[in-house]
Amino acid sequence: MEVLVACLILTSAVAAGMYLFRTGFDHLDRANTSNVISSKLPQAITLIRASDLGKKSGIEDMGDEATLEWAATVLDSVKPGGAGAPNIGAGAPNVYEIFLYKVHMKLTYRKKNREYDLNVFRYRRAGSPEAFAAQ
């Protein structure tokens, strides 16, 4: 009878230990996922600032099984010195066009994701089809 009770206690202790080990592993995996996504955020912001936002959207591989999906929309644009813009001086030419983009980003790692919004200024020479310069 004592051996049976001792086996029951030992089995309960092993089962509790296995449960705690599994729970700890799950929390460790979630913390690792959060750390990977957080470490990729500065890289993602730099990539967005260097990207051609005229494409409107894209998917980028960030390494370490992480991906970045983004979509850009133009919030506003202005030609300094143009109609409705502040007066910067008599006879000043429209040298630049300035654009404000809202970029929605989603960083994904192992089927978990975080979403962010980022505002990006871009400018280019007025009337020029050249690429935008990032700000």
Domain that holds residue 95: 2-134
Assessment of whether the complete model's pTM goes beyond 0.85: no
Three-state helix/strand/coil letters over the chain: CHHHHHHHHHHHHHHHHHHHHHHHHHHHHHHHHHHHHHHHHHHHHHHHHHCCHHHCEEEEEEECCEEEEEEEEEEEEECCCCCCCCCCCCCCCCCEEEEEEEEEEEEEECCEEEEEEEEEEEEEECCCCCCCEEC
pLDDT at 24 over 90: yes
pLDDT at 29 over 80: yes
Structurally, how many domains does the chain consist of? 1
Q: What is the pLDDT of residues 53-104, one digit of tens each?
A: 888 899 999 988 999 999 999 998 887 765 555 555 555 566 778 889 999 9
